[in-house]
Amino acid sequence: MTPLLRVRELKVGFGRKADANPVVKGVSFDLEAGQTLAIVGESGSGKSVTALSINRLVDFGGGKIVGGSMAFARPDGSVLDIASADESALTGIRGREIGMIFQEPMTSLNPVHTVGAQIEEAFRLNRGLGGAAAQAAAREALERVRIPDAAERLRYYPHQLSGGMRQRVMIAMALAGNPRLLIADEPTTALDVTVQAQIMALLAELKAELDMAMIFITHDMGLVAGIADQIMVMQQGEVVERGPTDAVLDSPQHAYTKHLLEAVPHFRGGAAVRTDRPAEGVRKPVVAVDGLTVRFPIGGGFLARKSGAIHAVEGVTFDLIAGETLAIVGESGSGKSTTARAILGLVAATRGAIQTAPGRSGRPVQMVFQDPFASLNPRLTVESLMAEPAIAAGQRVDARLRERMVFLLERVGLSAEALERYPHQFSGGQRQRLCIARALMLNPDVVVLDEAVSALDVSVQARVLDLLIDLQSEFGLAYLFISHDMAVVERIAHRVAVMYAGEVVEIGAASAVLSQPHHAYTRRLIAAVPEMERRRQRYDVDTTPVPSLIKPKGFEPQPAAWIEVGADHRARVEE
Amino acid sequence: MPYLARRLLTFPLILIGVSLLVFFSIRMIPGDAITAMLGTESGLLTPVQRQALAEYFGIDQPVLVQYGRWLSGVMQGDLGLSVTHGRPVLTIILERFPLTLELALLSMVIALGIGVPAGVLAATQSERPSDVTVRIIAMLGQSTPGFVVGLVIIYVLSVYFGFVPTMGSFVPIWVDPLANLAQLIFPAITLGFAFAASVTRISRASMLDVLSDDYVRTARAKGVPKLSVVWHHALPNALIPVVTLSGVEFGYLLGGAVIVEQIFALPGLGRLTLEAIGQRDYALVQGCVLFIAFNFLIVNLLVDLAYAALDPRIRLGAR
């Protein structure tokens, strides 16, 4: 039997001299109908370019197929070489036989058309449906991807839906043509863990139902284990290993595969937490947050009256201890970042107290942001970048300050030569090291790390985490570590606070919270974390909606009731 | 609609600000209406005669008193009396405005009709010969002064085609539509050429941005044909900067196009304002400027409404 797709020696290049410097350097694989192939690799491995070559969308990004063949079996038994097909043949195949979903649900839907119109268009183009039939099909498609009130949602514009909802709309659209092959390019990377689990469950369910083949691009080995039949590992444009899922995961042959498997932080249910927590007697609180509440009024203006408020953070209480990491976990919109911003004084607390010990310098709290590419001014040299916090604190740029810069650069694994260079001359991991060094310039007591390793490749991520742990013990820093990645949290946190809908629902020692979650949300969150050990497993589709944060004017929540689950482990009582 | 109400409330404030500015600045120019009217013969006036004339025109009072009088007139819909024309300012402006409005609309139709398709074509053919050609023409259009284009058009028309458009007096569209069009089409092309060039450049740049957006890739991935990707998925997202530019240009055109009106001898708002300034016809200048400012406010409001019509995120508010 001929496979659905047979790719041989595929080479893809970019720009004017596409053949001279290919990004994909001879990739070959077979994909049988109904099977799932996972392509795994880090950024720059060529995995996304490979995926975009299969439906030739790569042409529109300036790419060019410079060699090889892609034999695609058509339903009528004929075989089309996609590598040499012309644009009109490709337009006929896209959507109809090869569907695709992308990484960025927030930007992948057209903002000026309703989601209904966009799904209907797919049915019109690929199934020849029109008018009421297309509309009915669109509603059914939305129901199939488990969007509640589908008929109503058809009239929504993309910006009125959450990321998870938008990705479901994308899936509904990609499946409209009943494709025999679905390409999913990191479809859950931009989503929260619980939403990721829902999308994965949905994909697995639909795939079985429709007997569709799938190419699944990801950097996450844990996700791969849950869905793939075959795994192909790519590094710098070449395939380094390919085989059945179990073989690749259990006995990897290539050094790079082994390295990837080791570097990926695996969530081990609280078994891998740090043990270097400061002893009870010497714990010194540097920041005490008591009943922090942040609300943003909505409505209001020239004529309209204030109609209510977004209760972003509600009654949050915790201490930050020198030498200790408190991790805040929760999904987007749960109030993690707003809490951090309040501690830094970037947003005003509506209520509650944040007490900061005077500390070693005038500026005890510093911050490292998520995106190392966006958080360094591209026009400044590293020296000017590192001088900025000092200048802001009224210090002079002198030999002593430069000495400190060199000292810190060396501590984060960079050399003094870096001072004269510009941010674009560094890799993502190096830039994040620069951001960390800059945050330490004023000798702070507390560093707030807002998703500080989320944008980094797994192997880089592991090294930056190690660096953070070293710096913490060397300088006795307290970390407030905000993350959605439970495996990363397990590696760096001493204590964990779980936030849900603006409130802390569970807080305590990392080992206790991660191994014996008490609150229903914490349990859901931990169950959603993909694990290597769970192969081809069916997640349950859970569509519990998050409660709205928008409350009417004058609304006050009930005071929280807590249960002590254990020593240093408490959870909010659920209604 | 509270937003619209809020916007309309700001109109009187802005108009009062504009009127203050023009009221006092025009009085800072040396000379007055009497001197401007009588020229050197004004030296023959006896002080008593001069005083009588000044009283007649109301310019003997302190400036603030003059402003107060003028403002209370405006409130009642009376923009005052033109010294040079001897007729109400509002009547004169409303006589001249149809020409200006028609010319502006015609220019905009030409500019958008040519500029948007040309920009879209250039963006989809980026760096190919048709793109380069469009860009060169657009560059020429933006850098050639209006009077050059106008004079070339008149020269070609009269010398090679023996056609001379009606000059001097305006033929309204409701009197003779064909003669009206023959009179206005060439000035409109002159104005529209530069306008179209700007529209082309901004449409091209905006389209290029949008064509690399994720949702355009999505549209291609679901098999949308090329033309529909461009016109249905990309263009609506690329129009916001085009609307912004067109609004500003249209606002300027509603203030009259002095040079083109001069070349084609058209009695538009631009020449009226210019002549009024030369004649120190204070009431007429004030009236014209106020009218032009009001037009600008209306156009800006229309531009904002167009944004809302184009983009549901603006219409419905971002989450």
- Mean pLDDT across the stretch A214-236? 89
pLDDT for position A536: 60
Task: Identify the residue whose tokens are 């206790």.
Answer: A512
ipTM above 0.85, yes or no: no
Task: Give the residue from chain B lying closest to A51, CA to CA.
Answer: B221
pLDDT in tens, B20-56: 998 888 888 777 777 777 777 777 778 888 888 888 7
What's chain A's average pLDDT? 88
Give the range among A337-351, A408-422, A508-522, B56-70 with minimum mean pLDDT: B56-70
Task: Give the residue from chain A lying closest to B218, CA to CA.
Answer: A108
The residues near A119 (Cβ < 8 Å, ≥ 6 apart) are A137, A138, A141, A142, A154, A169, A172, A173, A176
Point out which residues pair with A569 in neighbouring strands: A508, A566
**Predicted confidence band at A285 (pLDDT cuts at 50, 70, 90)?**
confident
User: CA torsion B143→B145→B146→B148, rounded to 10°?
Assistant: -120
Check whether A224 has a pLDDT greater than 60.
yes
Q: Higher model confidence: residue A533 or residue A46?
A: A46
Kindly determine whether residue A157 and residue B313, on different chains, have CB atoms separated by under 8 Å: yes
In this complex, which of B223, B225, B318 lies closest to A96 when CB atoms are compared?
Answer: B223
Task: Give the residue from chain B lying closest to A173, CA to CA.
Answer: B222
Task: Give the residue from chain A lying closest to B318, CA to CA.
Answer: A159
Q: Does B9 touch chain A (CB under 8 A)?
A: yes
Check whether B319 has a pLDDT greater than 50.
no
The residues near B99 (Cβ < 8 Å, ≥ 6 apart) are B170, B184, B266, B267, B268, B269
pLDDT for position A542: 62
Contact B100, B64 (CB under 8 A): no
The residues near B136 (Cβ < 8 Å, ≥ 6 apart) are none
Q: Does A115 touch chain B (CB under 8 A)?
A: no
pLDDT for position B56: 78
Question: In B, which residues are within 8 Å of A82 by CB distance?
Answer: none
How far does A328 lie from chain B, in Å, by closest CA?
Answer: 25
Kindly determine whether residue B319 and residue A121, on different chains, have CB atoms separated by under 8 Å: no
Check whether A427 has a pLDDT greater than 70.
yes
pLDDT for position A506: 95
Kindly determine whether residue B222 and residue A177, on different chains, have CB atoms separated by under 8 Å: yes
State how far the Cα of A332 lies from the Cα of A497, in Å rounded to an integer.
15
pTM exceeds 0.95, yes or no? no
pLDDT for position B65: 87
User: CA torsion B67→B68→B69→B75, rounded to 10°?
Assistant: 110
Q: Does B319 touch chain A (CB under 8 A)?
A: yes
Task: Give the residue from chain A lying closest to B222, CA to CA.
Answer: A95
CB atoms within 10 A of CB A219: 19
Check whether A5 has a pLDDT greater than 50.
yes
Contact A529, A486 (CB under 8 A): yes
In this complex, which of B223, B310, B311 lies closest to A94 when CB atoms are compared?
Answer: B223
CA nearest neighbour of A279 among A324, A236, A337, A245 = A324
In this complex, which of A113, A157, A174 lies closest to B316 when CB atoms are compared?
Answer: A157
Q: Does B318 touch chain A (CB under 8 A)?
A: yes
Task: Identify the residue whose tokens are 């050990």.
Answer: A533
Kindly determine whether residue A91 and residue B226, on different chains, have CB atoms separated by under 8 Å: yes
State how far the Cα of B140 lies from the Cα of B143, in Å rounded to an integer.
5
In this complex, which of A60, A99, A302 lies closest to B6 when CB atoms are compared?
Answer: A302
Separation of first and last alpha carbons in chain B: 19
Check whether A279 has a pLDDT greater than 70.
yes
Cβ under 8 Å to A: B residues 227-256: 233, 236-237
Distance of CA A290 to the CA centre of its chain: 30
Give me the helices (H) in A369-484, please.
382-392, 399-411, 428-440, 458-475
Question: In A, which residues are within 8 Å of B2 by CB distance?
Answer: 301-304
pLDDT for position A296: 85
Task: Give the residue from chain A lying closest to B212, CA to CA.
Answer: A61
pLDDT in tens, B121-133: 999 998 899 999 9
Question: In A, which residues are within 8 Å of B213 by CB distance?
Answer: 107
| Cα→Cα distances A234→A24, A28, A42, A219, A257, Å | 9, 11, 8, 10, 9
pLDDT for position A557: 83
- Mean pLDDT across the stretch A234-257? 92
Kindly determine whether residue A122 and residue B222, on different chains, have CB atoms separated by under 8 Å: yes
The residues near A358 (Cβ < 8 Å, ≥ 6 apart) are A364
Check whether A298 has a pLDDT greater than 80.
no
Extract the tokens encoding A231.
């795994």
Give the range among A313-322, A402-411, B154-163 with minimum mean pLDDT: B154-163
Kindly determine whether residue B313 and residue A159, on different chains, have CB atoms separated by under 8 Å: yes
Task: Identify the residue whose tokens are 């064909």.
Answer: B178
pLDDT for position A541: 59
pLDDT in tens, A542-572: 666 667 777 887 788 888 889 998 888 999 9
Kindly determine whether residue B237 and residue A174, on different chains, have CB atoms separated by under 8 Å: no
pLDDT for position A302: 43
Q: Does A128 touch chain B (CB under 8 A)?
A: no
State how far the Cα of B234 lies from the Cα of B209, in Å rounded to an integer.
9
In this complex, which of A60, A109, A114 lies closest to B220 when CB atoms are compared?
Answer: A60
- Mean pLDDT across the stretch B297-308? 91
- Mean pLDDT across the stretch A379-404? 92
What's chain B's average pLDDT? 88
pLDDT for position B210: 95
Extract the tokens encoding A95.
């959507």
Extract the tokens encoding A316.
């949050």
State how far the Cα of A192 lies from the Cα of A316, in Å rounded to an integer.
22
What secondary structure does DSSP assign to A152-192, as a single string?
A: HHTT--GGGS-HHHHHHHHHHHHHTT--SEEEEESTTTTS-
Check whether A303 has a pLDDT greater than 50.
no
**Predicted confidence band at A301 (pLDDT cuts at 50, 70, 90)?**
very low
Contact A109, A170 (CB under 8 A): yes
pLDDT for position A544: 65
State how far the Cα of A336 lies from the Cα of A330, in Å rounded to an integer.
7
- Mean pLDDT across the stretch A142-158? 86
pLDDT in tens, A95-133: 999 999 998 888 999 999 999 999 999 999 998 888 899
Check whether A446 has a pLDDT greater than 90.
yes
Check whether A537 has a pLDDT greater than 70.
no
pLDDT in tens, A33-62: 989 999 998 888 899 999 999 999 998 888
Name the strands in the sheet holding A79-81, side by side, starting at the edge strand that comes first in the sequence: A24-31, A5-14, A63-73, A79-81
Check whether A392 has a pLDDT greater than 80.
yes
- Mean pLDDT across the stretch B286-306? 92
CB atoms within 10 A of CB A42: 19
What secondary structure does DSSP assign to A264-280, as a single string?
A: SPPP-TTTT----PPPG
Kindly determine whether residue B312 and residue A111, on different chains, have CB atoms separated by under 8 Å: yes
Q: Does B310 touch chain A (CB under 8 A)?
A: yes
Distance of CA A99 to the CA centre of its chain: 23
How far does B198 lie from chain A, in Å, by closest CA?
Answer: 25
pLDDT for position A299: 62
Extract the tokens encoding B33.
């209406």
Q: Does B221 touch chain A (CB under 8 A)?
A: yes
Helix (H) or strand (E) holding A290: strand A285-299
Q: Does B280 touch chain A (CB under 8 A)?
A: no
Helices (H) and strands (E) in chain B, counts: 16, 0
Task: Give the residue from chain B lying closest to A103, CA to CA.
Answer: B214
State how far the Cα of A333 lies from the Cα of B319, in Å rounded to an integer.
12
How far does B262 lie from chain A, in Å, by closest CA?
Answer: 44
Looking at residue A334, its amino acid is S
Q: Does B213 touch chain A (CB under 8 A)?
A: yes
In this complex, which of B220, B224, B311 lies closest to A121 when CB atoms are compared?
Answer: B224
Contact B246, B112 (CB under 8 A): yes
Check whether A469 has a pLDDT greater than 80.
yes
Helix axes B214-221, A163-175, angle to 10 degrees: 30
Task: Identify the residue whose tokens are 């084609």.
Answer: B264
Q: Does A78 touch chain B (CB under 8 A)?
A: no
Task: Identify the residue whose tokens are 């004084």.
Answer: A345
pLDDT for position A116: 94
Extract the tokens encoding B235.
């263009």
Give the range among A327-331, A434-438, B44-48, B301-305 with minimum mean pLDDT: B44-48
pLDDT for position A1: 62
The tally of CA atoms less than 13 A away on the side-chain side of residue A260 is 30
CB atoms within 10 A of CB A559: 6
A570 SS3 class: strand
Kindly determine whether residue A91 and residue B318, on different chains, have CB atoms separated by under 8 Å: no
Contact A106, A136 (CB under 8 A): no
